[in-house]
Structure 1
């Protein structure tokens, strides 16, 4: 992080959706500071640090992460990445590169969401007694409206993570194969030019190899991509710095990736 701050990146005190943004800010030597919001402990997972200011920041669509750069106030993680990338010509030059960037930007987000769904499954509502579950949406609206989203989200997924993890690992090689084929013999996912989608892809692949350490073993070009990215001078420096933290990936209510590495 540069000593003279201008941009402000706001997010939870986790890697989450901000990690690729941090990597891109560091790589482009962008001057920035962070505003990190802390989620409370179980059972309430208090989010008041963020909720108290959420609608006071003049954001069009208040959410985390956000980026403030002078009069420009941006939400949506990929919009933030594109904003930074445009300043440094990292969105692709040729039409072919731009198409590959557009495809990867969306495909890697779909892939990311699969692991997120596994980590934030409905077991995380266990802090509510089961007999209260049917009353949960009404309880939330009157007492803790910030939890309403969680009730709606949880209903879509199986109760126990044990049912989801084997299914995820079963389909993981097939997903990774598609990325391997798309990368092919290129150095980067747009071709031979480094773009912001490489930062996204590195982050998501890194999370998956932390979740299943051998998952990239069958795909030498993906492993080479990871090594190539980590060897970039400014990335290597950041990964070795005190500013970098490998964990937690997810927030405290998650079932995996929610702990700091001591």
Structure 2
């Protein structure tokens, strides 16, 4: 059996939750990172050289290839990895699974807002810290005194939620000063023994591509 491959740009973007999850689970895989050439000439992008030669049904990145599947779409890849390699990280029942899906969608909206803010050519008049304050208040209240996003047990959702919050903190190191619950959540995740060193090793990995207005 050949080693599984996770393919994505050489950035955090939509792939880092998968990398964190795989590291935590101790999965031996190839972390294939493609160079992003950027404007004005995208011909140097490594990904474009192989995009249509990997047998993917919907050629895109991130992708995951193992001996059973060839998958694209970030959420599909993430959930497949959780179910296949970390079944103990899945929510224990349907109500919790529904809550997990809800929070995952909420976090996805937050990340989309950060992406839009970072890539728009003209800086919005309202700082993103102000624009999203009500949503972060809601998230802080939702987690409350929980150990993890859904309660006392870590689930695959935490790997996605952590990365979204991390990207906001990387944009602004003081972003979570008004939200001590979320700051505590980040610190708790970063103290996981299987992840502490890996998180430090990947601190220099940019969140978004060189085409962003703000690169961090």
Q: Normalized against structure 1, the TM-score is what?
A: 0.76
In structure 2, the residue matched to 1:96 is: 95
Residue of 20, 24, 28 corresponding to 2:21: 24
Residue of 182, 186, 198 corresponding to 2:142: 182
Residue ranges of structure 2 left out of the alignment (5+ in a row): none
Shift of 1:56: 1.3
In structure 2, the residue matched to 1:106 is: 105
Shift of 1:5: 7.0
In structure 1, the residue matched to 2:165 is: 205
In structure 2, the residue matched to 1:9 is: 6
Moved more, 92-101 or 27-36: 92-101
CA RMSD, aligned part only? Answer: 1.9
Matches within 5 A, 1:159-170: 160-161=122-123, 163-164=124-125, 166-170=126-130
Q: Does 1:70 align with 2:67?
A: yes
Shift of 1:224: 1.2
Residue ranges of structure 1 left out of the alignment (5+ in a row): 124-159
Shift of 1:53: 1.5
- CA deviations on 1:18-57 (whole Å, 9 max, x unpaired) are 1111000000001101221111154324454212211111
Count residues in correspondence.
214
Q: Normalized against structure 2, the TM-score is what?
A: 0.91
In structure 1, the residue matched to 2:181 is: 221
In structure 2, the residue matched to 1:55 is: 52
Aligned partners of 2:200 and 2:175: how far apart in 1?
Answer: 24
Aligned partners of 2:81 and 2:203: how far apart in 1?
Answer: 21
In structure 1, the residue matched to 2:118 is: 119
Aligned partners of 1:47 and 1:172: how far apart in 2?
Answer: 36
Aligned partners of 2:101 and 2:44: how far apart in 1?
Answer: 33
Moved more, 212-221 or 4-13: 4-13
SS in 2 for 1:255: coil
Q: Does 1:173 align with 2:172?
A: no
Higher-Rg member (1/2): 1
Aligned partners of 1:193 and 1:44: how far apart in 2?
Answer: 47
The structure 1 segments of at least 4 consecutive aligned residues displaced by more than 4 Å after TM superposition are none
- CA deviations on 1:232-255 (whole Å, 9 max, x unpaired) are 1111131244xx243311111111
